[in-house]
Amino acid sequence: MGYSIEPKSIAWSPDGSKIAFEAWRLKGDGIREPGGLIVMNTTVNGGPAEGVIVTPEVADKMRYMVPATPDGKPQNPHWSTDVNGTRLIYELVRANGKRDLCVINSDARIHLT
């Protein structure tokens, strides 16, 4: 608790309506840890979405599409190239250093709160 989020590897969906990014949890003394992948809407009903100021309280309530776990940390999200960006591909960095490529539907919701 009490720390913020630093976005890394920001990827815009093909239609510009969403962004996906790695969310790194910032702690004190420059320590950070991966939290997972977050997808946020940039538009609501055809207009711009309201921005979010990520305070420590908001950071603790952020919802991850793909959370980091001891088994792997999701990184480097990229959208599929179809107009609606229906899929998200990402690397899963395993604890042993090996990497897997994973694909998830962009409307899937794997939440960690």
- Note if the pTM is more than 0.85: no
**Ranges of each domain in the chain:** 4-105
pLDDT at residue 58, as a whole number: 67
**pLDDT of 51:** 65
Using DSSP, state whether 34 is helix, strand or coil.
strand
- Averaged pLDDT in 10-residue chunks for the chain of 113 residues: 77 87 82 87 70 66 85 94 84 94 77 35
DSSP count for the chain of H helices, then E strands: 1, 9
Question: What residues pair up with 100 in beta bridges, in sequence order?
Answer: 92
pLDDT of residue 28: 72
Instruction: Report whether 102 contacts 68 (CB < 8 A).
Output: no
Instruction: Report whether 96 contacts 81 (CB < 8 A).
Output: no
